[in-house]
């Protein structure tokens, strides 16, 4: 794989101003959530154009180079800044794989924000390209997502990535090979704080 590369929409371009603004929003949302403070107040008039456009977003937390949480929203009709605030508020407290982030951990937390292009259903697993696409799997009411940078970070090929996203969804690793499993590919761009080890 992939024997029949399937084109998915490009993610929006991210300039330095947008990258800085996204990371600041995410950091403010994460810290407010951990400290049980009100969410940040945002004036959209002060934001770069990318953040005003509708786009989905995921926020990833690392602590001393290790994953500490990753959550987001696939609401593509909401402005990006709103989705970043939502993701930043839930990721330190609600990722079921981890204990909630404590206030004492915040100085060691490094943040990455991923901006997703709309996913496209793939005609089959052979159309997935782990080198350029993220993947969503759906089957039997279960769904999971892996961002494009995950396969790169771990050096996974297509089959390994598909196995991993199925297991993340609580499905057998080979569920992607079975009739009735739906796969969606997508592209993303991301910005990370200095020291984020991905």
- What SS3 string covers the chain? CCCCCCCCCCCCCCCHHHHHHHHHHHHHHHHHHHCCCCCCCCCHHHCCHHHHCECEEEEEEEECCEEEEEEEECCCCCEHHHHHHHHHHHHHHHCCCCCCCCHHHHHHEEEEEEEECCCEECCCHHHCCCCCCEEEEEECCEEEEECHHHHHHHCCCHHHHHHHHHHHCCCCHHHHHCCCCEEEEECEEEEECCCCCC
Position 6 pLDDT exceeds 80: no
- pLDDT value of residue 5: 52
pTM recorded for the entire structure: 0.89
Is domain 16-116 annotated with CATH 3.40.50.1110? no
pLDDT tens digits for range 93-135: 999 999 999 999 999 999 999 999 999 999 999 999 999 999 9
- pLDDT value of residue 3: 43
Same fold, 16-116 and 120-186: no
pLDDT tens digits for range 127-157: 999 999 999 999 999 999 999 999 998 999 9
Q: Where are the domains of the chain?
A: 16-116, 120-186
**Both ends of the chain: CA-CA distance in Å?**
24
What is the spatial distance between Cα 92 and Cα 79, in angstroms, rounded to a whole number? Answer: 22
Is domain 120-186 annotated with CATH 3.40.50.740? no
Is the CA virtual torsion 36, 62, 186, 28 positive or negative? positive
Q: What φ, ψ does residue 39 adopt, rounded to 5°?
A: -65, 155
- Contact yes or no for 68/109 (Cβ under 8 A): yes
pLDDT tens digits for range 24-47: 999 999 999 999 999 999 999 999
């Amino acid at each position: 794989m992939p024997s029949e590369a399937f084109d998915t929409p490009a993610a929006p371009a991210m300039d330095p101003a947008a990258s800085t603004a996204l990371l600041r929003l995410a950091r403010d949302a994460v810290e407010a959530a951990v400290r049980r403070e009100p969410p940040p107040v945002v004036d959209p008039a002060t934001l770069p154009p990318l953040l005003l456009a509708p786009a989905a977003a995921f926020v990833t937390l690392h602590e001393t180079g290790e994953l500490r949480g990753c959550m987001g929203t696939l609401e593509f009709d909401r402005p990006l800044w709103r989705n970043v605030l939502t993701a930043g508020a839930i990721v330190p407290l609600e990722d079921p794989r981890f204990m909630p982030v404590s206030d004492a951990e915040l100085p060691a937390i490094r943040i990455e924000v991923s901006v997703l292009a709309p996913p496209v259903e793939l005609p089959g697993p052979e159309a997935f390209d782990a080198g350029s696409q993220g993947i969503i799997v759906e089957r039997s009411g279960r769904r999971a997502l892996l961002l494009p940078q995950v396969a790169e970070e771990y050096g996974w090929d297509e089959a390994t990535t598909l196995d991993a996203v199925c297991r993340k969804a609580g499905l057998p690793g080979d569920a992607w090979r079975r009739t009735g499993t739906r796969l969606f590919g997508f592209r993303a761009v991301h910005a990370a704080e200095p020291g984020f080890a991905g």
